[in-house]
Amino acid sequence: MPRYIFITGGVVSSLGKGLASAALGALLQARGYKVRLRKLDPYLNFDPGTMSPYQHGECYVTDDGAETDLDLGHYERFTGVSATQRDNITTGRIYNNIITRERRGDYLGATVQVIPHVTDAIKDFVLSDAGDVDFVLCEIGGTIGDIEGLPFFEAIRQLGQELGRDQCIYMHVTLLPYIKVAGEMKTKPTQHSVKEMRSIGIQPDILLCRCEIPIRPDEKRKIALFCNVPEHAVIEGRDADSLYAVPLEYHAQGLDKVVLERFGIHDAPEPDLSRWVDIVERVKNPDGEVTVAVVGKYTSLLDAYKSLIEALNHGGIANGVKVNLRWLDSEQFEKPDGFGPLEDVHAILVPGGFGERGAEGKIAAVRFARERKIPFFGICYGMQMAVIEAARNQAGLTDSGSSEFGQFEHKLVGILTEWVKGNEVERRSAEGDLGGTMRLGSYPAILKEGSKVREIYDDGQIHERHRHRYEVNMAYRDQLEAQGLRFSGVSPDGILPEIVEREDHPWFIGVQFHPELKSRPFQPHPLFASFIGAAVEQSRLV
């Protein structure tokens, strides 16, 4: 039976619980253990699929089509273990399942209550489908004391009793603020956070304390005393120079050793951290640098592009260079004099997105990249804008666009109403619900012989993750290919376009899927590795 580690947070949000969970999972993996990571989110949304990136950051999509929290991206990148529908649950899904069962009569007339019905449903989720792993790490979203999180905390408290303390431990991530005026690190917020946990019956076994400066020995003793944890279980968590240095720093602090000791494991092999050392060395000592412009609409909140940022960094690692990202709001390119920030970049990327705002600016940025022969990468919405740009400015279809943001004579992009998934036909309508109705998850694509993407992938068939509601209209394929925009990747039935590329350009590729979701630091996605390689070549020309 697997051992369970529950990761909670206190004082404030955004302390890095997800990153801490991923780093701990990587450390246990490095010792030879099998791990699985899960996220329990207390909000009432069914999933993050309809939530604004400004509120929740990016929506991460798994191979089996789950729209999940961005922390699952951390889990996958750090451990290489692909997440599934069974690895992210919300209050909304829990209550939806319970109400469905109640309406069906499954509870046999019983009064349905938070305890035991909601807490039992949460426990069932935590314990289900664990497989043959050694450790299951469960991160609970939000902070201790949040009213919506109470059923989750009660559920993991009960699991501590039912599983036994040799099968279940609690790690609490908290904040040690440094007051510069007083010149002191304050432990009181951490004390109050732990007091709140203990008031609901959970005694943390490990405290991971986020701080700006080192914790002095007397402060560590004070925290241990007032929070009732061993002194060596008070772990210092300072900001790292690189995301991928976090496992090394937590190991140096003894986090994985304390976890194993708490489970009574004293004969674990020492971790092999050589690949993490290698990655950090590459990040810290690049051979050069390139600048990539990201032309989007959520540029004021970078968590909206978390996986994209990491995939670009992975491309930099693959090429031995540092990737400097220049975040540009696409609306500025709707003005004739707004292109100055693109003049000195080595590559341009237009990422995914939704809605009309900023669309014309993205189209203008695509034209700039095409005419100036600057490496261009369009992802999902970015590919659609590239197709519209070619139609308007090369094929003479001036009144063309997407039905997502207007009525046009030539609907180059329209809503996707039917497609094949496995052996079944999926159908949608414009009037249907928004949540969970997009083309989601992993789908195959066939790559054209002699194309650039086939050379990049070194394969004729690929599988990539999708999240989109609109699709390029293949009726315009011949007109666009006559202008040099080749459809080099399509669905196996030839109906849905997956990739376009330009034959008259050094590196110009648009993809309907989201390759950033499958990029890993140890296995950079081939498209991002090639894209940054093209940026390196461009840097030698300017």
382-391 pLDDT tens trace: 999 999 999 9
Task: Determine the average pLDDT of the residues in 209-225.
Answer: 94
Q: Do residues 355 and 481 both lie within one domain?
A: yes
CB contact at 8 A, 330 and 348: no
Question: Which has the minimum average pLDDT: 168-177, 220-229, 429-438, 507-516?
Answer: 429-438
- Which CATH number characterizes residue 439's domain? 3.40.50.880
Residue 419 has pLDDT above 50, yes or no: no
Task: Determine the average pLDDT of the residues in 211-216.
Answer: 92
Beta bridge partners of 445: 462
Q: Residues 67, 209, 516, 525: which is the catalytic one? A: 516
Q: Do residues 222 and 361 both lie within one domain?
A: no
Q: Do residues 203 and 332 both lie within one domain?
A: no
pLDDT at 420: 58
Task: Determine the average pLDDT of the residues in 45-71.
Answer: 85
- Residue 426 belongs to what domain range? 287-539
Close Cβ partners of 468 (under 8 Å, ≥ 6 residues apart):
352, 380, 381, 416, 438, 439, 512
Q: Do residues 322 and 410 both lie within one domain?
A: yes
**Distance between CA atoms of residues 349 and 345, nearest Å:** 11
pLDDT at 415: 73
Q: Residues 380, 464, 471, 498: which is the catalytic one? A: 380
More confident position, 266 or 53: 266
Number of separate domains in the chain? 2
Which tokens in the block code for residue 487?
């459809």
Q: Do residues 384 and 249 both lie within one domain?
A: no
Residue 425 has pLDDT above 70, yes or no: no
Give the model confidence (pLDDT) of 331-375 as tens digits: 888 887 778 899 999 999 999 887 778 789 999 999 999 999 999
Residue 433 has pLDDT above 60, yes or no: no
Among the candidates 279, 303, 332, a domain finishes at: 279
Nearest CA to 20 among 297, 192, 167, 240? 240
Q: Do residues 445 and 312 both lie within one domain?
A: yes
Task: Determine the average pLDDT of the residues in 291-304.
Answer: 84
Residue 211 has pLDDT above 90, yes or no: yes
Rounded mean pLDDT of the chain? Answer: 91
Residue 532 has pLDDT above 70, yes or no: yes
Catalytic: 380?
Answer: yes
Q: Do residues 191 and 225 both lie within one domain?
A: yes
Among the candidates 252, 279, 306, a domain finishes at: 279
pLDDT at 288: 94
**Distance between CA atoms of residues 143 and 9, nearest Å:** 5
Among the candidates 240, 255, 279, a domain finishes at: 279
Task: Determine the average pLDDT of the residues in 188-203.
Answer: 95
Q: Residues 56, 466, 514, 525: which is the catalytic one? A: 514
- Which CATH number characterizes residue 170's domain? 3.40.50.300
pLDDT at 347: 97
Residue 164 has phi, psi (to 5 degrees) of 95, 150
pLDDT at 150: 95
Q: Do residues 299 and 427 both lie within one domain?
A: yes
Give the model confidence (pLDDT) of 222-255 as tens digits: 999 999 999 999 999 998 888 999 999 999 999 9
Q: Do residues 208 and 321 both lie within one domain?
A: no
Residue 427 has pLDDT above 80, yes or no: no
More confident position, 411 or 265: 265
pTM: 0.92
CB contact at 8 A, 397 and 368: no
Give residue 203's pLDDT band: very low, low, confident or very high (50, 70, 90): very high
